[in-house]
Copies of this chain bind each other. A is one copy, B any other.
Amino acid sequence: MIPTISVFEHSPDRGQGLARDMSVRWAFEEVGQAYEVRQVSLSAIKQPAHQALHPFGQIPTYEEGDLALFESGAIVLHIAEHHVGLLPADPNGRARAIMWMFAALSTVEPPIVQREIAMYMEHDKTWYEKRLPLLEDGIRVRLHQLSSRLGKADWLEEAFSAGDLMMVQVLRRLKTSSVLGEFPNLCAYITRGEARPAFKRAYDAQLAAFIGKPPKQAN
């Protein structure tokens, strides 16, 4: 059975692959699982029909038979658990890959999203110019720690995993910030992630959806 995910009809990121369907599309492509896409408008996302699937009124959702999921982290983990390619076979390596998924979403992403929220919600407030540097300092702390741990390695553990997928996708949100440039090894890490054929297929599919072409499928 081919799973169906919901994505924005018109993604607010205008096809940059920063919406949360991107990590799910990338995971599907890494494991070679075909998927269907259902586009949801920004108004429909707040309606009962969508909120029955996603109580927080977001995308993506995942539907396969009688299973319905939301939360991109949970969906990527579900995909990773049911296919080969995103989690190491050895139990300890598997636990560490999942650990990095949580680290990406719970520890690295929040200060990055806070900056986005401020840019969107507080850009006209009197305090915006004073607060922005504080927000960037918060991001800098996490990037410094992540950069130190990554060092000269290609990936966070021995091989690319769902943990790298989520971390690269979180870091990509910073591509419009100059903070990222202070950490060359993290820039190279993102570039390695984006160079993966599966990333490129996922990126092209979400871009095609944005510009109105039929979304591409995995493989």
What is A's interface to B at a CB cutoff of 8 Å? 51, 55-58, 66-67, 69-71, 73-74, 77-78, 92, 95-96, 98-99, 101-103, 105-107, 109-110, 113-114, 117, 121-122, 125-127, 130-131, 134, 138, 142, 145-146, 148-149
* Min CB gap A202→B, angstroms: 20
In the complex, the 3 A-B pairs of residues with the closest C-beta atoms, listed nearest first: A127-B127, A55-B149, A74-B99
Given A74-B102, A102-B74: A69 touches B56 (CB 8 Å cut-off): no
| Contacting pair B105 A69 (CB below 8 A) | no
| Contacting pair A107 B56 (CB below 8 A) | yes
| Contacting pair B106 A106 (CB below 8 A) | yes
Chain B residues near A121 (CB, 8 Å)?
134
| Contacting pair B102 A71 (CB below 8 A) | yes
| Contacting pair B96 A55 (CB below 8 A) | no
Copies of this chain, count: 2
Chain B residues near A125 (CB, 8 Å)?
127, 130
Once bound together, how far apart are the Cα atoms of A22 and B64, in whole Å?
35
Given A106-B105, A127-B126, A134-B121: A74 touches B57 (CB 8 Å cut-off): no
* Min CB gap A162→B, angstroms: 12
| Contacting pair B74 A95 (CB below 8 A) | yes
Please report whether the interface of chain A is mostly helix, strand, loop or mixed according to DSSP.
Answer: helix
| Contacting pair A67 B55 (CB below 8 A) | no
Interface centre among A78, A95, A103, A146 (most CB of B within 10 A): A95
| Contacting pair A146 B67 (CB below 8 A) | no
| Contacting pair B55 A145 (CB below 8 A) | yes
The one of B71, B127, B142 that contacts A107, using a Cβ cutoff of 8 Å: B71
Once bound together, how far apart are the Cα atoms of A1 and B127, in whole Å?
53
| Contacting pair A145 B95 (CB below 8 A) | no
Once bound together, how far apart are the Cα atoms of A70 and B107, in whole Å?
11
| Contacting pair A73 B106 (CB below 8 A) | yes
